[in-house]
Structure 1
Amino acid sequence: MKSKTILPDFLVKKGDAYYCRYGDFYIDPLYPVKTAIVSHAHGDHASPGHLDTYATPFTVAFMQQRFPKYTREAYTIKPFNQSWELNEVRITLIPAGHILGSAQILMEYQGVRYLYTGDYKLQEDPTCEPIQVVQADVLITETTFADPDVVHPDPVEEIRKLNAINGNILLGCYTLGKAQRITYLLNSYCPDKVVLLHHRMTMAHRLYDEYSPVSLHYKVYGRKDMKEGPANKVYLVPPLTFNSYFRATNVTRVFASGWARLQQHNDLSLYISDHVDWADLLHYITLVKPIEIWTIHGDGSKLKIHLQDQIDVRDIQSVTMIPATA
């Protein structure tokens, strides 16, 4: 049986993007390019100005709202699990479970399957599509929390801690994905709490109202909402607003994140992350069954040591393009 030839430069780091010369496209570029495939709509992955952007329906909808000067013709909507080709590379978007519309990008070329995860999580999150597992020869994985010391707790148990707080809560969280997940968790497991929404989060929530499989219950914040009526409000605010309210009184300050540094100086920790922790990363590797692992977005050194006698692990930035004449 002929062994598969994995091309070490199939995907390489090129500035703030990942480039596939065999298909002549970029993944998650942060500068204008001819052809971009965008894994999801977070700002560190989605940017404007490309001649053609391939992405899932929700990702395109969010980008159109966020970058209104770019016409609909700049986007090509690709539903999950519907393959297409760019040059000779066959591409399929697979649900990543990170936020609504987030996609892993499966690339097939010369019989080899390369799976770019983007950001992903295995924890249950009814606000978005659950992660879908496919097997691949090369797993190109984020390593945001690739550390044996990182353990993400059950998000339901974390959110239930807010039930013990008698008073209003100022809750910092990211605007897209995290805020909608927190709203759903509060609606489901803290039913006596009223969710108030910072105006900068309105667009994302309303798009979730249109695309998400679950209903979210919230009210856009008004000036008197935290001062009048029962003290059972949870006011969701973006990070910059949360930081500017560091002297806020008569509220309990919490921030929803997997990062320990973002829990410091708050009144209560709230470890809710939209990325895989160490255990989920290792579990996902067993499901995908890769021959090689290429790491991105974080530090993969501990993963490399852990798997050194089992699977070849390398940082994708350690390889440059091989000349075509080589």
Structure 2
Amino acid sequence: MNIIEDFLVRKEQGFYCSYGDFYIDPLYPVKHAVVSHAHGDHASPGHKHIYCTQATAEFIKLRHSKQPDQSFQLIPFDTYFEINGVGIYLYPAGHILGSAQILMVYKGVRYLYTGDYKLQADPTCEPIQFKEADVLITETTFANPAVKHPDPVQEIMKLAVPHNILLGCYSLGKAQRITALLNEHCPEKEVLVHHSMLGMHKIYDRYLKAPMRYELYNRKSMKDGSQNKIYLVPPLTFNSYRRARNVLKAFASGWERLQAQNDISLYLSDHVDWNDILYFIEQVKPKAIWTIHGDGRVLQQHFHGKFEIRDILSQTFSPDYC
């Protein structure tokens, strides 16, 4: 078995596999794009062929209505397909609905690209699956022993207070996870969603066994009736409402810096923390690890002398397809 050191490299457009002539999560238009999930820093429009799960395709279509339907190649989980001789499987990543790890097989070597992933239980998305690989290509957003994500139920229970709450969160994934958590653990709370989240919630409802309970926000909602409302808003709206009165403010994130100046800290992350990464590595059993999306230096120090860990290689930009 020979690991190809430049099997996947970082280019300006995204992560490029020259052996199959395709990109993973490209930000600029390419011919073949394998998309791990629908967050804006991983999914963009303009590609000729997009390989992704059905849920990811629905989110992309919602946000980018001009992307032609015929450009989508819908790939079920645990289904083999090929792009120019490279075998590929998609497996659940547990990050958001439809999010996928991308396992690439070439000349007998298995390369596993995690995308963004989490191990915490989340009823709003497919639970992560563990697959062994020779090379693990992992995100390192919170790859630091100082980071330990708290229990999400304990965090959501912080919102069980007799006040209206302005809650900042990302429109896709986080907002739906919070809605489901509130529905289950704080059923007395009325969940109001920003209009930018409504389409995402409706897509989630089609996939969930039990539809979520929520309403679209209107200007009178937070002023009328009892103090039991939680208004979910995207980051830009949250920042513009900093001076809002008669509400408690919270922002759902794993980042400590985003908790500053809020009335309630709410540590809810959809990424793995340090212990999660170590456990995931045990399950994958890689011979080498390439790191992306974050700082992998602490991980490199932790495994020094055991096996190779390095940042993914970069390649200078050269136009391939526009």
For 1:127, what is the secondary structure of its paired residue?
coil
- Offset at 1:213? 3.9
Structure 2's unaligned 5+ residue stretches are: 318-322
Match status 1:310 vs 2:294: no
The answer (yes or no) to whether the contact 1:12–1:320 under 8 Å persists in 2 is: no
- Looking at structure 2, the residues matched to 24 and 65 of structure 1 have their Cα atoms a distance apart, in angstroms, of 28
The answer (yes or no) to whether the contact 2:11–2:315 under 8 Å persists in 1 is: no
- Looking at structure 2, the residues matched to 92 and 212 of structure 1 have their Cα atoms a distance apart, in angstroms, of 24
Deviations 1:262-291 (A, max 9, x none): 000100100000000001001100010000
- Offset at 1:318? 5.2
Match status 1:168 vs 2:168: no
Correspondences of 1:127-276 after superposition (within 5 Å): 127-163=124-160, 165-276=161-272
Structure 1's unaligned 5+ residue stretches are: 322-326
Specify the alignment match of 2:12 in structure 1.
15
Correspondences of 1:66-81 after superposition (within 5 Å): 66-81=63-78
Specify the alignment match of 2:320 in structure 1.
none
The answer (yes or no) to whether the contact 1:82–1:93 under 8 Å persists in 2 is: yes
For 2:157, what is the secondary structure of its paired residue?
helix
Compared CA separation, residues 75 and 318, structure 1 to 2 (3 A):
closer
Name the % identity.
63
RMSD: 1.2
Specify the alignment match of 1:34 in structure 2.
31
The answer (yes or no) to whether the contact 1:38–1:46 under 8 Å persists in 2 is: yes
The answer (yes or no) to whether the contact 1:100–1:212 under 8 Å persists in 2 is: no
The answer (yes or no) to whether the contact 2:89–2:102 under 8 Å persists in 1 is: yes
For 1:26, what is the secondary structure of its paired residue?
strand
- Offset at 1:196? 0.5
- TM-score for the superposition, normalised by structure 1: 0.95
Match status 1:94 vs 2:64: no
Equivalent residue letter for 2:174: K
For 2:266, what is the secondary structure of its paired residue?
coil
Equivalent residue letter for 2:116: D
- Looking at structure 2, the residues matched to 47 and 308 of structure 1 have their Cα atoms a distance apart, in angstroms, of 36
For 2:219, what is the secondary structure of its paired residue?
coil
Deviations 1:217-253 (A, max 9, x none): 1000111111111110000000000000110111000
Equivalent residue letter for 2:309: V
Specify the alignment match of 1:324 in structure 2.
none
The answer (yes or no) to whether the contact 1:133–1:288 under 8 Å persists in 2 is: yes
Greater CA deviation, 93-102 or 211-220? 211-220
- Offset at 1:46? 0.2
Deviations 1:148-196 (A, max 9, x none): 1111000000001111x22100000000000000000000111111100
Greater CA deviation, 224-233 or 214-223? 214-223
Greater CA deviation, 183-192 or 60-69? 60-69
- Looking at structure 2, the residues matched to 39 and 20 of structure 1 have their Cα atoms a distance apart, in angstroms, of 15
Specify the alignment match of 1:49 in structure 2.
46
1:299 maps to which of 280, 295, 298: 295
- Offset at 1:16? 3.8
Equivalent residue letter for 2:28: Y
Specify the alignment match of 2:105 in structure 1.
108
Displacement over 3 Å in runs of 4+: 317-321
Match status 1:290 vs 2:286: yes
- Looking at structure 1, the residues matched to 20 and 66 of structure 2 have their Cα atoms a distance apart, in angstroms, of 28
For 1:236, what is the secondary structure of its paired residue?
strand
For 1:308, what is the secondary structure of its paired residue?
coil
- Offset at 1:129? 0.2
- Offset at 1:212? 3.1
- Looking at structure 2, the residues matched to 88 and 200 of structure 1 have their Cα atoms a distance apart, in angstroms, of 40
